[in-house]
Amino acid sequence: MFKQSFKYYKSKNPPPNLDNVLDLNKSNDLTEFQIKKVSIKCEERKKMFGFKHPKTWEVYEIVDTPGSLLFIRNPFTSIGQRYWTVKCLQDYSKKPNKTNIDAFNLVPENKEWWEMCQNNNNVLLMNKLRWVTLGYHHNWDTKVYSEEDKGKFPKDLSDMTLYVASILGYTNFSPEAAIVNYYHMDSTLSGHTDHSEKDLEAPLFSFSFGQTAIFLLGGNTKDDKPTPIFIRSGDMVVMSKESRLAYHGVPKILQIDSRYWDPIDENDLCYIGKDYREVVNICKDDALWKPFGDYLTYSRININVRQVLSRGQKRLNSEDAEDVT
């Protein structure tokens, strides 16, 4: 069932009918699908990290899926969406973080990928970047983390995820690994489960920016019929417990929405925090922001943040590798 649905929504010719895709922007869909509105206690919270005030967040639980899957409808301000886009393109893509293009030696030691793309308007090089890994590096072959393959986890991404985790009541969460996926209009991500981390109780936080994706959310086997869901710029998905073992994937990226990262509201600028002013200055200057906005016109970025260590654990042991299949 998962494979058939994936093929259906991936198809260019004929294009898929989108009527059955769950759309959290449509009030009808909120009653027709198995969705529960979740209330969060956050009156006293400050607005931070490019988010709208948490009391305005719309949090939904997709009830039909195993475990717990939360969908938060774009809690980011425009400037917040721009901030994380700039970070993913200009900063997280830098060494020593790992990328899929490392293997091809396309970027000399003394150069940076984003700079090289900008200097020659090198669209070919720009479209080659498909993923970056941060913190404990995801091993795409073995799916096993190792203490020997680990970089520094970015402070701003850690602070932002901890803020979200505390608002949603995940007080023990620790951000230790992230994968940033870069999608272009013809990119897909095939069905998979997230089982590399030992503690499946710990949530996985997923943040998306740019063009809209059809996200397929299945069950514990590929025989279960998946639910297609639109994920738009700024939307956040939180998976925990059995939902992390549910098959999911992205069969299609669509240019169907307005630019949620435009225009910016000057009043939101102060809420990112003073440590991050340099990037905020790029976000609020139309000329400096332009190449990033151009990238988002034809692309989507997804950051997913995970906890690797079990509660109380300081480092991975060699036995951990044997436990993970």
- Phi first, then psi, for residue 240 (nearest 5°) are -145, 165
Binding residues among 119-158 for ligand SIN as defined by CB under 6 A: none
Contact 195, 245 (CB under 8 A): yes
C-beta closer to ligand SIN: residue 74 or 208: 208
Q: State the nearest-atom distance from the C-beta of 217 to ligand SIN, in Å.
A: 10
Binding residues among 233-262 for ligand SIN as defined by CB under 6 A: 248, 250
**Hey, what amino acid is at 293?**
G
Among 114, 170, 215, 289, binds ligand SIN (CB under 6 A): 215
CA gap 219, 299 in Å, rounded: 28
- The separation between CA 224 and the C-alpha centre of its own chain, rounded to angstroms, equals 24
Q: Does 21 bind ligand SIN (CB under 6 A)?
A: no
Contact 213, 188 (CB under 8 A): no
Q: Does 302 bind ligand SIN (CB under 6 A)?
A: yes
Q: Does 271 bind ligand SIN (CB under 6 A)?
A: no
Dihedral sign, Cα of residue 195, residue 196, residue 198, residue 204:
negative
C-beta closer to ligand SIN: residue 70 or 189: 189
Q: State the nearest-atom distance from the C-beta of 100 to ligand SIN, in Å.
A: 14
Q: Does 181 bind ligand SIN (CB under 6 A)?
A: yes
Beta bridge partners of 36: 61
Nearest to 22 by CA among 39, 9, 38: 9
- Tell me, by CB under 6 A, how many residues bind ligand SIN: 11
Q: State the nearest-atom distance from the C-beta of 107 to ligand SIN, in Å.
A: 24
Round the CA-based radius of gyration of the chain to a whole number and report it: 19
Q: Does 213 bind ligand SIN (CB under 6 A)?
A: yes
Beta strands per DSSP E along 119-210: 131-135, 177-184, 189-192, 204-210
Q: Name the one range near ligand SIN by CB under 6 A: 74-82, 205-213, 277-285, 313-321.
A: 205-213
Q: State the nearest-atom distance from the C-beta of 301 to ligand SIN, in Å.
A: 9
Among 90, 158, 161, 206, binds ligand SIN (CB under 6 A): 206
Neighbours of 295 (CB within 10 A): 22
Binding site for ligand SIN (CB under 6 A): 181, 189, 206, 208, 213, 215, 231, 248, 250, 302, 304
